[in-house]
Amino acid sequence: MATVLDIAKHNPNAATLAVSDAARAAGFIEKKAELNVVAGATPGGASLVGLTRDQLKDSLFAIGVPERELKMRVAQLWHWIYFRGAKEFSEMTNVGKELRAKLAAAYTLARPQVVSEQVSKDGTRKWLIRMASTGPLDKGAEIECVYIPEVDRGTLCVSSQVGCTLTCSFCHTGTQRLVRNLTSAEIVAQLIVARDSIGDWPHATPPEGAFVPNDGSRFVSNIVFMGMGEPLYNIDNVIAAIDVMSDGEGLTLSRRRITVSTSGVVPQMERLGTEANTMLAISLHAVRDELRDELVPINRKYDIKQLLDACRAYPGLSNARRITFEYVMLKGVNDSDADARELVRLLKGIPAKINLIPFNPWPGSKYECSDWERIERFSEIVFRAGYASPVRTPRGRDILAACGQLKSETEKLRARARMMAEQGIGAEGVYALGDGE
């Protein structure tokens, strides 16, 4: 993407390594991340949308709101921004005219720009979102966010980074060269954009013909951190974003309906459980270290035993709060009966669900998806051992809304869409869904 490349030209800290198969084969585990972006809003037209309570407090203090009023003012803004979805300060009728004018002079309630919205025949929606510029050399990072509606729930798949520093060999996002962490506000803003777009605010209505849950629940009822990036490499911002998303006076997402997926950043797992208290998903994908070293190279740092020990110790783990193990089905690579039996043996004693993911091919990928009969057989072995083993239903095929295929460069995306259409390759937009309550 031009944006990030522009930064790279001028930023000595920008990653300079391209991820080739050769580099991967040579033991290349991760790329260097871009600089972190400073969080919060300073007066001068910055948006307050996505900020934490503390950041809102600082923003109000910066425009002269007296200390003794701060708590009350934050509560008012919080309600308008996160409960009602206000887009203008003028809507905030219980905030005095004078303060509203001050707020409007210093800040905005702008959302990140929606560059494109694609709607699948099955109702899945994918947005390409451009974040606000972070400086003169940045035209705004682009990320993708996917909404998957079902009858009784609506799941939003959010990104935690632009690109990913890790280099899993079957994942397209891992080939993206330049990476930066999203701020907590940028993570929260993905939910705001989704709610705007599908009319998920009090008094709002969904667009004509939109597919949304019809059981009376919120249209976005679940969140999965399964878009671009490794959430546990951006854990501070992910935890702060989850705090905002799950706040009972605002966006009110249940923490039990938020699932964070990790490739296995073992040292951060306990902190996620303790501080975010969300559901956990593990991208396992292989049952032997030799193979996992290749598929999920972070395994060379934290091997399968260390990973599963950390799972056993995950705070709050119980039969009611199982860990989801994700397992991508790669033809002839990890899909044998012996692999299925070993999987069952490894997970013994861990309250678990196993999610089998049909591999989503991307141009240049060296793997194929296992045949359907093979996936069924694998699933059967896992099921007989007592585990729920749903195969993720392909969603959003026609709009390339697929796991591991998200890659934000607009131009490449268009080129890829064209190429895949020409080659007749469909993308399977499939995401593991936390059970929730």
Per-residue contact string for residues 100-139; x = within reach of ligand SF4 by CB under 6 A: ----------------------------------------
Options 146-154, 198-206, 215-223, 355-363: segment touching ligand SAH (CB under 6 A): 355-363
Q: Please give the residues from 218 up to 277 whose contact with ligand SAH meets the rule CB under 6 A.
A: 226, 230, 261-263
Amino acid sitting at position 14: A
Question: What one-character DSSP code corresponds to residue 404?
Answer: T
End-to-end CA distance of the chain: 39
Binding-site size, ligand SAH (CB under 6 A): 17
DSSP-assigned letters across all residues of 275-324: II--EEEEE---SSHHHHHHHSGGGGTS-HHHHHHHHHT-TT-BTTBPEE
Residue closer to ligand SF4 (CB basis): 162 or 185: 162
Is 145 part of the annotated catalytic residue set?
A: no
Strands 161-162 vs 154-157: parallel, antiparallel or unpaired: unpaired
Q: Which residues contact 389 (CB under 8 A, 6 or more apart)?
A: 353, 354, 355, 356, 379, 382, 383
Active site residue: 30, 34, 144, 326, which one? 144
What distance in Å separates the CA atoms of residue 370 and residue 336, rounded to the nearest whole number? 10
Report which of 321, 234, 282, 296 is spatially closest to residue 432, judged by C-alpha positions: 282
131 binds ligand SAH (CB under 6 A): no
Please report, as a single letter, which amino acid is at residue 295.
L
Residues numbered 154 to 173 that lie near ligand SAH (CB under 6 A) are 164, 170-171
Nearer to ligand SF4, 176 or 221 (CB): 176
197 or 263: CB nearest ligand SAH: 263
Q: What residues between 130 and 189 interact with ligand SF4 by CB under 6 A?
A: 164, 166-168, 171, 173-174
In this structure, how many other beta carbons lie within 10 angstroms of the beta carbon of residue 158? 28
Nearer to ligand SF4, 120 or 175 (CB): 175
Of 59 and 355, which CB lies nearer to ligand SAH in the complex structure? Answer: 355
H/E element holding 358? Answer: strand 352-358
52 makes contact, choosing from ligand SAH, ligand SF4, none, with CB < 5 to 8 Å by partner type, with none
Reply yes or no on whether 403 is catalytic.
yes
Could you say whether residue 263 binds ligand SF4 (CB under 6 A)?
yes
Q: Judged by CB under 6 A, which of 30, 230, 294, 335 binds ligand SF4?
A: 230
Question: What is the spatial order of strands in the sheet that 154-157 belongs to?
Answer: 113-119, 125-130, 142-149, 154-157, 222-225, 258-262, 279-283, 323-329, 352-358
**Binding stretches for ligand SAH (CB under 6 A):** 164, 170-171, 226, 230, 261-263, 283, 326, 328, 357, 359-360, 403-405
Q: Annotated active-site positions, please?
A: 144, 403
